[in-house]
Amino acid sequence: MLRMQAVTSLLIKSLIIFFLVLSQSPAIAKEGMWIPATLKDHEKEMKSMGLQIPIDQLYNASGTGLNNAIVLFGRGCTGEIISASGLILTNHHCGYGSAQGLSTAENDYFANGFWAPNMQGELPCKGLTVTFIRRMENVSQQILEGLKDTMRDSFRDTVISLRIAALEKEFRTKTGMDASIKPYFDGNQYWVAITETYRDIRLVGFPPNGIGAFGGDVENWIWPRHTGDFSIFRVYAGGDNRPADYAGSNKPYKAEEFFKINTSGYKEGDFTMVYGFPGTTREYISSYELSQVYNVTDPISIEARNRRLDIWTKHMGWTRSNFLKYTSKRAGVANGWKKWQGELLGLKANDVVGKKQAYERTFQQWADTCKAVPYAKDILPQMRTAAEIATPILTQEQYIKEGVLGIEIVQQGAAFDNVMACFRLGLSQDALRDTLTKLVTGMEGFYKNYDPKTDQDVFISLMVLYFNKCTSWIPDEFKDQYRAHDQDVNVWAADVFKRSMLTSMAPLKEFATNAKPGDSTKLQADPAWRLYNAIATIRKQKITPVLKDYISRMRYLDRLYTNAQMQEYKNKTFYPDANLTLRLTYGQVKGLDPEGPAPYSFQTNLKEVVALDDTASDIFRVPKKLKELYAAKDYGRWGVNGTMPVAFVASNHTSGGNSGSPVLNAKGELIGTNFDRAYEGTMSDYYFDPTRCRNISVDIRYTLFIIDKFGGAGWLIDEMNIVKGKKTVAAKAKK
């Protein structure tokens, strides 16, 4: 199913030799996540690849660039403005949490979808925000002036923090907007982003899971894909079109910049761009740090999440209530679990650790003789020593994070720490009860999406894993509880979930309502909290200090190592690692062929979706109406020669955070919405392989077809500017 048969040894050797040579080159084809304000440096290459508009249309400091049509959606996705009335297009999985918060048994938006009949029917999404990047500026000189490269981070960070705070305040005063300064190139550069964050965001359209999450885990991170992974929201603003808290009197945001939508399609080789907020990459790290990812963090996370996901999936199938409680959580946990598997595959197939080791040998030869960068020769030896000390501790930490703290009732023990703190304040009984009631009320969100029986089975599975893997690090409290239950983890779990107050809101509310100043002993006796406290203590005493020192040490060395590499390869155009700031990447529509002589197509269609229909499967069940539209070939104006395109792949360098990013053609027009990467190329966070790395996107024509013909929300189409060939269908005026 995953199309991942082993490649021949000859192909592996050829790839290794090819990419070893490529990794030594000044630049790697189509690799890079570029700061928009630096795009002038890439104009020649972009034009040669097909760009047909001036760079200034993509970004400029005057406020007329397409950067003003991009938003950071929520805390880690991208969205794009597609109408003058603030309509936002993003991914279905980016809107999942908001849809869950609005869903009930009576209004199940996952099963049935949601389509607002008009603006008055759009649903407010509590806590959801979107952020515009109005301008970016290099402020490295102001932040780093007088600070030597080798200055220790403890003092350096203090100076930098003070300078950042002062400069951000200055920018806020001058612009009347927010300002955020972040480090780039591991702290060798600093850039400020002038931003506006809007707080009144409303749900407009959300396809059912049978479209928006079609294929589930089976197709996640896989090409070909058949998912209509999109959702639609709208930004609302105050009377001055500026950010405002939710109010019924707010009006749709008036967007001066928004994307035209092109429905002419594309062909393989066409120039494409992806604009958005990639989350985290580590392209310049050492082989020592990459080895920890390859041998420790990824394998342990996969192993622990295998167990948790198996149990969650089984229990989600028991009741619709359980499904709604765990569907969003499961999607988040499964996303990383699947991605890390593909990441390991790509790292292994490309022998990336070996390539980095070979690169480091070359670097060391240069460093040993480089008088201009005298500190360079000691960087890699220091990295090796630090990593060797930290790796055993990192291993234990990963089993705790993914194992013990993967048990929700244990993790929820942290909430008891806040409750216990109230007893140390010397409050009167009435004040104590009032404070505790407020704290407990704040836990309602957790318990809305929690099932004790499900978590009890997770407890059994993950405790077995922890006891088997961390024999010399298990706290006495764990051992004592285990022995007290005849070393039977099933009996142990049953007792913990029977006696703990943390299983539901009812016992917590009762405790808060009737609490007396001396009742902290009841909390201290809670078996789930005792487990949390024991694991928190061992982390605090034995693990966190070591890892904190290691992270601090490596951050310092990483900064010097990146700086030295930039000194060694002065003619190479480096791009900074992703850090959830605005970037643009460019490539081409291009099929994927990691394992055979005949490439997969660069596009999928609705015929393939219907062929996968399985009415007995939650993830491959095609909605009845969609099958009827297919049978009638009722595609409206969105079909192409009797077919309905669904998704396509291109060679743009993307990462987490690019979910929801607009995919643009050579004219800067919207042709799709990015939602994934190909399984074989998810190691692109550490190494970009142009034969494997692909971004996967929903074809905009499929999005429009679902909105129009399936959702019956043609009124949304009316406010978009749609281009086909040279003809533009202007948006209808909104009353």
Cβ atoms 515, 466 nearer than 8 A: no
Cβ atoms 652, 587 nearer than 8 A: yes
Sequence-separated contacts (24+) of 138-144 with Cβ below 8 Å: 138/37, 138/189, 138/190, 138/191, 139/167, 139/181, 139/190, 139/191, 139/192, 140/188, 140/189, 140/190, 140/191, 142/167, 142/190, 143/167, 143/181, 143/190, 144/190
Q: How many CB atoms lie within 10 A of CB 673?
A: 31
User: Which candidate, 583, 647, 717, places its Cα nearest to that of 87?
Assistant: 717
Which of the residues 85, 328, 659, 697 is marked catalytic?
659
Please list the helix, strand and coil fractions of the chain in percent, rounded to the nearest 5, in that order. Answer: 50, 15, 35
Which of the residues 42, 93, 226, 315 is marked catalytic?
93
Phi, psi of 248 (to 5 degrees): -60, -25
User: Which candidate, 93, 65, 58, 66, places its Cα nearest to that of 77?
Assistant: 93
Task: Reply yes or no on whether 659 is catalytic.
Answer: yes
Q: What is the DSSP string of 565-582?
A: HHHHTTTS---PPP-SS-
3-state secondary structure at position 618: coil
With b for 16 or more beta-carbon neighbours within 10 A and e for fewer, the 63-85 pattern comes to eebbbbbbbbbbeebbbbbbbbb
Instruction: Name 431's Cβ contacts closer than 8 Å, sequence gap at least 6.
Output: none
Cβ atoms 644, 78 nearer than 8 A: no
Which of the residues 42, 85, 98, 229 is marked catalytic?
229
Instruction: Compute the half-sphere exposure of residue 542: CA atoms within 13 Å on the CB side of its CA.
Output: 16
Cβ atoms 172, 129 nearer than 8 A: no
Task: Reply yes or no on whether 315 is catalytic.
Answer: no
3-state secondary structure at position 198: strand
User: Which candidate, 615, 674, 632, 634, places its Cα nearest to that of 650?
Assistant: 674
Name the DSSP class of 712: -
Q: What are the residue numbers of the active site?
A: 93, 229, 659
